[in-house]
Structure 1
Amino acid sequence: MTGRGTPRRLLQQMFAAAVDSAQPAHCLPPHLPQVARLLPGSGPGRLLVIGAGKASAAMARAVEDHWPGPAPISGLVVTRYGHGVPCRQVEIVEAAHPLPDAAGLRAAARIRELVMPLGADDVVLCLISGGGSALLALPLEGITLEDKQALNRQLLESGASIGEINCLRRHLSAIKGGRLAAACHPARVVSLLISDVPGDKACDIASGPTVGDASSCADALAIVRRYGIALPANVREALESGRGESVKPDDARLAGSETRLIATPQMALEAAAEVARAAGVVPHILGDSIEGEARDVGKVMAAIARQVAQHGQPFATPCVLLSGGETTVTVRGKGCGGRNVEFLLSLAVALDGLAGVHALAADTDGVDGQQEIAGAYLAPDSLARAWDQGIRPRDSLDDNDGHGFFQALGDSIVSGPTLTNVNDFRAILIESRR
């Protein structure tokens, strides 16, 4: 149908281009010469590399491979299990995601210990990417790891947005919400960020360990009330007393901090759009920060796709509708799912086998939900094939069983760990009207 072969192949090539655009080996090296210039030409100054996130190990490797400065490199980063890569000078620690574990807690404590003795001639290069909130797990004094794990479980199932979840995390952490940068003072801090959050807000990427936070404990308590989150007495005390207040943007200890976005969802969507153009398909980027319930977003996108397919409005065919962001899933069923397959299954039900419409939705880190599956592909005949197997699509959706649904059809997208993360990727390909 296109210069790139089948619809499925084209969609997969677009997803691959989006992921490739955010690979640390491509997007990080151009920023290193500016970091090197911050170090004194001679003297005791050194570069300490720290970080957290699903891409942090690959980012550390990119620093080692392309570092232009004379100063020696050392440091420690923590990444998700299975996302580590070998490094020579930076220690790599693997820990759990999305629920934090003891390995992440120990790594976070060690990172804080490493930065405490630094002086004004030293530079901290902080490598931050999506997933860092769970991986950099160091609770406030008086709060346990078990408290954080229980809270994370509730938040992940509540339907709260990532911004709301990270607001709570910032106020219950000894290292997030600017506290890590404050601990680095008086050293200079340069943070290189790979964004996985809608709006690319630095305070929400790994809950902002090196940036000031304008939100308050009162804001965190409002989120608790909004979603009916149950807090143990010690956690509630930290918020109500103000003991969990984060470091604010005007804090003098942050004066030597600098933050740079090196990869974003928008950049990834633009890379995918180039692949579509090369195949003779017009791309339309609908947004890089779309939020809301995954199944509701699926219904809206289905309505837009139907209007395009049937009436050529607001876009002519062939075209592809691209979007990113981070939807949420309020878990009510007992199936196996993630926000991307939830979106795709809702889209499928709403389209009801509409001819000429294909779609792919996947997480750019290669993990949708808690499964080692990136997402899935949807074809016009997906619902018919499901019915032939005795699978009731609406029942699968009600049970939050998106992975089960698409696995049964052989349409799961399995990429393995991509070693980066610029959030969700959604593409709806609409073939020429006949």
Structure 2
Amino acid sequence: MKNRIKTLSILCLMACLLLINPVYSQEIKPLTVGDTMPDVILKSVLNYSKRSAQLSDFAGKAMILDFWFIRCGSCRAAMPHLDSLQKAFKNDLQLLLVTWEDKKKVEEFFTTDLDAKHLKFVNVVNDSLLRKIFPARGFPHQVWIDKNNRITAITDGTNTSVENIQKLISAKKIDLPVKVDEMDSKLHQGTDPLMTYRYGTTKDKILKYSYLSKRRLEFRGGSSLEVDTLNQIARASFTNIDFLQLYDNAYTSSLGSGDLHRPSRLIRKDTSSVKTEADYKTFTNVFCYDLMYKDTTTRGFGKYMIRDLDEYFGLKSRLETKKIKCLVIKEKGVGKGYRQPLNGNDKRFLDCKMIVGKKNKANKAWQGFVLEELNRNSYMPIIIDLDINQPISFEFTWTPNDIKAMSKELEKFGLEMVVEKRPRKVIILENN
């Protein structure tokens, strides 16, 4: 019987506690602007007629909860201004300082600090409840509550002006940005690379970002250029491409190198161990590079990319025009057979046919043929030294080890192929 009475007494006590403060009866969820402030119990209060209080004790007044701590310089610096506002609006405003710090430490601070010893704020100390309802990392942290217990603003204290206080008291609209603190400690401290956090909503803040890595298996090989016009962010991305392609793309500021011949593009005067051509056995010279920067076009990525590559590889690069050996297709004699269409078909565009071996034939439009096929397969740059403003048609068998044979085939079109030194844009690499 005694045990039963004891159990009933405990249950009654718990019920009474829940009725006294409904906030404790459920999970505490943070509140924001527009929510209604509950009538919470303030267990430990300084400079008040009682040791504890409830928010309803201040009914009929607008209220500002000012969260602070002793070592917060900005909090202390704002106190004289807050004191003057409390005195000016004492009949309509209740300012409550709120801190989680110990009562004795707070009392000592207001007793010994020269700037604060004359201030007499109603101060909530040893707080844990309000801090859960209004979590924050940056201070001061202020919560403005109107006379109807509606939360009208959450600010950093920089907007605590006479004009805004009058709006709060009159229940007028207060258009202030809501102070939102990041409570995830991992995110708050930036322990992961910063680009990984909320990229979609923060990319408008990017000024410049670059990333260089070794080959990554999860990426396909490729490249892309794009512009986010809304956020004015340009991006150049290269995944699993070789050393030569990195520098080539950097110096052309494009995805294609035009009529440039990649094998002769770099002149190496450096001692770096990184190979020029792609090594698809060890992949030691295959890289990923990602660049983002503030711009509305993709034409300027090269200057950033060159700087990044030179810095990482310990090189000094420059673009230079030098005379190098080239395979030149040019006129021979007075015949103009190359001005006639192939196979009797009239062509408005510049067309060529290249026969590779006995089975494979490559028919390409002029630019595709020259830029993609010839220069891709040639050990020297190929130059078509002809007036391309007029229709051009010719064909030959690609035998790069036998220039004389190719030249002989071209003779029937009034052309020849010879080796000559011609000025070409090349990239010089030297030790830094």
* TM-score, structure 1 as length reference: 0.19
* TM-score, structure 2 as length reference: 0.19
Computing the radius of gyration from Cα coordinates, the structure with the larger value is 2
Greater strand share, structure number: 2
